[in-house]
Every structure is written in structure tokens, then in C-alpha cells.
Amino acid sequence: MPSLLYHGRSRHPGVLRITAAITAGLIAIAAAVLAPRPALAATPWLDVSDDRYASFTVPVSEVEAEAGGSVSQVLIEGNFGPSFTWAQFGLTLRGQAFTGVLGPLPPGLYTYQVTVNGTKGLKDPTNGTRVASKPLWSTFFVPGDEAALLADVPEGQGGNVETLAYGSGGEQRSALVWTPRGYTGKGKKLPVLYLNSGNGIAASDWLDLGRAKQILDNLSARKAIEPMVVVFSDGEAGKELRTAVADRYNVHGGPAHQAIAGAGEGGSQALRAALGHPAEYDYAGSFSGLLTEANGPARNLKLLRLYTGNVTDPAYNATVKLTKALDRARVKYEFDGVNPDAGANWNAWQENLIDFLPRLFRNVRDHGPSKGHGKLKGEFTPPPPGTTPTPFLSDDGFVTFETTTEFANAQQVTVWANWAPGGSWLRVPLAKAGDRWRGTVGPLEPWFYHYRLIVDGTAVKDTSNPTKVTSEPTWSTFLIEGERSRLLTDVPEGKGGKVEELTYHSNVVNQERTSLVWTPPGYDPDRAEPYPVFFLQHGGGQSYTDWTEMGRAKQILDRHFLDGNLVPMVVVMSNGNVPDFNAELLENVVPAVQARYNVSDDPSQQALAGLSMGGGQTYGVLKAHPGRFAYIGVFSAGFGSAEGVDAEAINRGTKMLRLYIGDQTDFVYPSFQDTLATLDRLGIRYEFDGVTPGPHGWDVWQKNLIDLAPRLFKR
């Protein structure tokens, strides 16, 4: 029996409401602090559960009032994608609200805005957090051990952030300055760290998005860093700013007490300043910096440390070039390693800052990469434009998409795929590359993925991908291989079972119809003992092809059989789109299968299962014909009415009734709780091993089949 690697414990979705601002008002510039804030709506649009699920509920009336007109579509755009990339999460209109659930989210800080009708951005009026440089953005914090240094310290135990005004080039400018708890401006002089911003990054972003105050407060409270003054500046830390800092704060001069770092272009500025003016800084750090050349200093720095995200970070290739240049120039440096989990974004730069700060103004023993970070493997170069088929898969789970030239005049192209936590769907934007659109996403865990292109709001098939999904003509698929996806991969040629079509006449719809039938390796039509038979049904909007094209049923069955987990059986996948499924199954499908295949007509050797609509149909057969199928499996479906149900007959005739459900992201999850209560009240015996993490989708149902198939016909 396979271990239940894909299952979790059943739980009711407790909800923790996100409301008050996360200290943004304390750390923004003075004008922002003093500005009045609008009153928040009574009911938040966002709730975050204690088990890290983000639930969005946007009332139609409220979003239309905010948008100033009719709203047909609501997207939540935020850093929810693979490597925390910016992505779009579509909400579904249910009743009088647009709703959706994402999760479980890794601990950390999340940023989002509301976008309506595809183009108009809105600030969530019910979330009091602010991002000074991005008026439409809101944030929420998901706590957890991995993000402990990003959490607020108890009130009164942190440092102070204030605005420093200074003149530069005849203009008045300002910077933000953090001083440690207890700083009075007297006594021992402190060293200074200048954190540059760079293109597209404001000084306040270090606080609103980088959680720098929380990081500094926590590390300071743990005595993990030297007492210091930290200056957050827009652009480079020029002479005027350094003079203003020296005039205002009790700080040391001289390079041994000066450090500079930055993110993005700010990281490049920091390196240029440190390498070009070594008499000013002894410590320098580059977080996703884009510098590729090195002008050797008169002497080496005490610390020159480089950081980069994975291959989705534009700095990845730049870092490859820079390390070679530094090696040629014989400049000593340290490399934190390639961050496997983030690209060029604040989630990566938070980690960079946490690693960098404890290395300043002190001697440290550890000069190697952070735990879990990898080596640079040379520049990342996707295939040349026009290479087919797509997408292009790298060995470490990165996927590069490229369109044909037919969308050269499009305004926006995104890839909509099941790569959110648990398998929910997110849209990740592609970038214009000549007359094509391109983008790299990842790393993705080994699994089976399906996607479609969204071109200016219209779903389009990736015609460069030869895969197809019959019931969803705009979908394409790809597989990331690995141990986690082993049961979804093809077995060696000639080792698996066979899938063939079975055509039969349906008296329910008065037409010829088709089923797909899997027979195990070595199937013998003349075997003395008939084979058990398993009828496996699809869901609404699907058909008999979906379990093979999307559910990977053949691969799952083949793998289980070769692993010795599966009783040799015949598996039948039929078209359930009929007005009377019971009649279709019992009067048409079952007789046709028995006429063509060597299968048992003994109920104890017959099984029935289905997903969603097919699960409801399975329940319907169970209620109307208890004992007709001894093995029953239901994926993501509700039991429905209990009227007239013969619980005793069901228990007597059913050897196994096994139920499955996705997590809170599965919209059936709430009603499934009612199903369990109904079965308990009726006294019907069933098995339920807990939720299968994931939404109402194939990621869950594949795992359900993986669990169910080896359990059949063994009692």
C-alpha cells in the first residue's frame, strides 16, 4: 500500500482577520505619517487563517463603488507566484461577492492590489497597511518560524525610524534613518550602513516591503548585530548625504565604520561606490545587483558579499559575469550562493539583509553561502527564439514560455497555470521579446502542469506545444520529472497496460458513444478467473478523455502495477454527460464492457468512483443501487439529500466507501463537512484520511486516484 504522501489532516478553516496597519505609518516619511487615513469598511476583503490560507471576499456593491461603475472581473495581483513573482489570482463571482482562496502560503510578507475589469487598479479599502511608493498596494504578514525575524517586536522594544532632510545639488532631499533602541546621540560612536534603493525602488520600500525595521529590531534584540545607524536613501549615498548623517548622528567616520549595500540597481551603485572609492567603505553588499565588470580597488575590502536569486533574477547572469571579472581582477569577495526559492524581489532581499547585517563591523567565521543556496552553473540561456516545441524545461524545474509571432501586437500576455500553492491557478505575465513574448517561471516542484495563454484577456492555446486536452481546447500540458511525480510519468515502452476505445450504443441519448478502457500488462481475455472492473468517472465540463489526458490515469495505473501495488483489473472511463447516469452506466456501459472484456459480474469485484460531478453521480448509484458496486470512491463531491437512503443496505453491500476532498481552496470543502455529518447521522461506514492539499482540480484528483487504486479488490 502506498504511503499517504499527499494527504493532510482534516480541519475546519479557522480564520484570523487581518486588519490593522503593520507599522507602515510609523516608518513612512513625515507627510505620510500625518496624512489622515480613510475609515476602513466594516468587513475586510481579506482574511488569513491560522493555517496560512488567504481568503478574499470582495462584495460586488463595494468594489463597484470603489471602481465607479460595473465590474465583471476581479483579480488579486500580488507576489504569490513561483519564486514570489508577481502574479494574478482570479476571483470567482459567487452570489453577491467575488471570492477565492490561496494557500497554504509560506510565512512571510505578501503584497497585493485589486484589479477590476483587467485594467483598473484599486487599493483594498479594508486593509489599513500602506506602501508609500505604491499607493494601490496593501500588505499582509503570514507569521511562522521561517519569518520570525520579519515579525514586529513588542511595542517599545524596537529602534526608531525618522526622516533626515538634506540638500543635494541645490535640491532638498530626504532619507530615512534607523537608530537602535536606546540611542541618545551621546556616548559611543556608531558605524553606519547605507542602503541604496535604485531604479523603481524607493527608500521607504526598505521598510514597507523589505521589513528592514523588523529585521534590524529583531537582530538587535538578539544581539546578533553590532549597534549601528542604518540610512535608507533614494539613489546613491552621495557626499551630501554622508555629511548630513555625520552632522546629525553620533557616528564614526572612516571606511572601517562605513558599509554600503543595495538592491537591484542600488546594489550596482553600492559596488561601484565601494570598488571605486575603497577609502570610503570597508563593507559592501549587492542584492541582485546588475554590475558585470570590476574596477579593481587599491586594496581589498573587509567584506564584499554578492547575492542573487535564481535564474528568474535578471542579476543571475550578471553575477556570473561579475564573479569572473572579480576573479580576473583578483578582488576578494564572498558569494551567498544562488537562492533557489526567490528571484529579484523583496522576499529574496529580506533574506539577503538578514544574512548581511551580522557580518558588518565585526569578525565572523562563516564566509560561505547560506544554507540551501547553490552554486552558479554558468549563464542561463533559453533556446533561441522560434525553437519548438515549447515550453522549454530545465533540469532544475524552471520553465520558459515563448509565444509565436502572432501576438506581436498584443498589449499583455500571461500564462495561466496550476502553479500556485496546492495547485491553484495563477497568471504570470510574460515580457515582450522582439515580436514574441517570453518568460521563465520556477522552480516548480516535480508534477504535472496544465496552462493556457491569456492574450489581452482572451484564452489561447499555446500552438507550439503539441499536447492537447480534448475537453479544454485552449489548454496545454507539461511534466516536471522527479521523485514526487514518479507515479505520473510514463513507464518504459512496452511495460505498461493498454488504453483502447470501446464504442457502444446509448439508449439514454440514442447515439453511439465511446469509453476508454485500460487493461493491465499481460491481460488475458481467456483467463479462467474474470478480472475485477473499476468504473472511473470525470467531472462537469469534462468527458471520457480527461482521466487519461489530465488525470494521468494510464501512468498511475501502469506505475502501481509495475510496483506490485495493484490488483490486475480493467479500468473503464466513460462519458458521464447524460441526463440519467444510473441508466447509462447500468444499462449501456456495464453490459458493453462485459461483452467485450473478461470482467467479473460479481458486485464484490466491481468498483465505481468519480470526481466532482462524477462523484455526485457515484453517490447517486450508491443510494439507488446499494451493493451494486462493493468499492466506492468519491473525489470532491457532496452526498446530497439523505431522503430515502437505506444505510443498512449500503453498509451491508459496500466493502469500502472512501472519501476525498481538497483543502480550503476546494470550493466543495464547506459542503463536504455537511457530507461527513450526514453520513455519521445515517450510520453509514466510510473512510476519510484527511484533506488532500490542493484545490478543486486535477492536482488533487490525481493524488486521490494514486491513493484509491491500490486499495481496490483487496478485502
Q: Is residue 331 part of a domain?
A: yes
Kindly report the CATH number assigned to the domain that includes residue 466: 2.60.40.10
Q: What is the mean pLDDT of the chain?
A: 92
- The pLDDT confidence band at residue 276, using thresholds 50, 70 and 90, is confident
Cβ-Cβ contacts under 8 Å for 613 (sequence gap 6 or more) = 537, 538, 539, 540, 542, 576, 637
% of the chain surpassing 70 pLDDT: 93
The answer to whether residues 208 and 312 belong to one domain is: yes
The answer to whether residues 418 and 452 belong to one domain is: yes
360-365 average pLDDT score: 95
The answer to whether residues 45 and 74 belong to one domain is: yes
Mind listing the pLDDT tens digit for each residue in 419-435? 998 899 999 999 999 99
Provide the sign of the torsion angle of the four alpha carbons 509, 512, 515, 517, taken in this order: positive
> Above 70 in pLDDT, residue 21?
no
The answer to whether residues 92 and 211 belong to one domain is: no
**Dist. CA 134–CA 205, nearest whole Å:** 9
Q: Is residue 568 part of a domain?
A: yes
The answer to whether residues 298 and 260 belong to one domain is: yes
> Above 50 in pLDDT, residue 437?
yes
The answer to whether residues 454 and 530 belong to one domain is: no
Mind listing the pLDDT tens digit for each residue in 688-715? 989 999 999 999 999 999 999 999 999 8
Kindly report the CATH number assigned to the domain that includes residue 289: 3.40.50.1820
- The pLDDT confidence band at residue 339, using thresholds 50, 70 and 90, is very high
The answer to whether residues 168 and 300 belong to one domain is: yes
Q: Is residue 528 part of a domain?
A: yes
The answer to whether residues 111 and 233 belong to one domain is: no
> Above 70 in pLDDT, residue 287?
yes
pLDDT for res 144? 96
pLDDT for res 296? 59
Strand order through the sheet with 54-59: 15-17, 46-49, 54-59, 97-102, 92-94
Q: What share of the chain is helix, strand, coil (3-state, %, to 5)?
A: 25, 25, 45
Residue 128's domain spans which residues? 15-143
> Above 50 in pLDDT, residue 12?
no
Q: Is residue 681 part of a domain?
A: yes
Cell of 446: 516535480
pLDDT for res 1? 39
Q: How many CA atoms lie within 13 A of 44 on its CB side?
A: 18
The answer to whether residues 128 and 261 belong to one domain is: no
pLDDT for res 235? 74
Domain boundary among 317, 343, 359: 359
Domain boundary among 445, 471, 486: 486
Q: Is residue 5 part of a domain?
A: no
Cell of 614: 462524477
Mind listing the pLDDT tens digit for each residue in 66-76? 999 999 999 99
Cell of 576: 458521464
Number of residues written out for the chain: 715
Mind listing the pLDDT tens digit for each residue in 213-231? 999 999 999 999 999 999 9
The answer to whether residues 440 and 298 belong to one domain is: no
Domain boundary among 486, 520, 549: 486
110: burial class by Cβ within 10 Å (0-12, 13-18, 19+)? buried
Q: Is residue 367 part of a domain?
A: no
> Above 80 in pLDDT, residue 4?
no
pLDDT for res 88? 97
Decide: helix, strand or coil at residue 440.
strand
- Of 111, 130, 112, nearest to 121 by C-alpha is 112
650-671 average pLDDT score: 96
Mind listing the pLDDT tens digit for each residue in 545-555? 999 999 999 99
Longest dimension (CA), the chain: 97
Our count of domains for the chain comes to 4
Q: Is residue 369 part of a domain?
A: no
Q: Is residue 368 part of a domain?
A: no
**Dist. CA 144–CA 107, nearest whole Å:** 5
The answer to whether residues 63 and 124 belong to one domain is: yes
Report pTM: 0.90
The answer to whether residues 439 and 462 belong to one domain is: yes
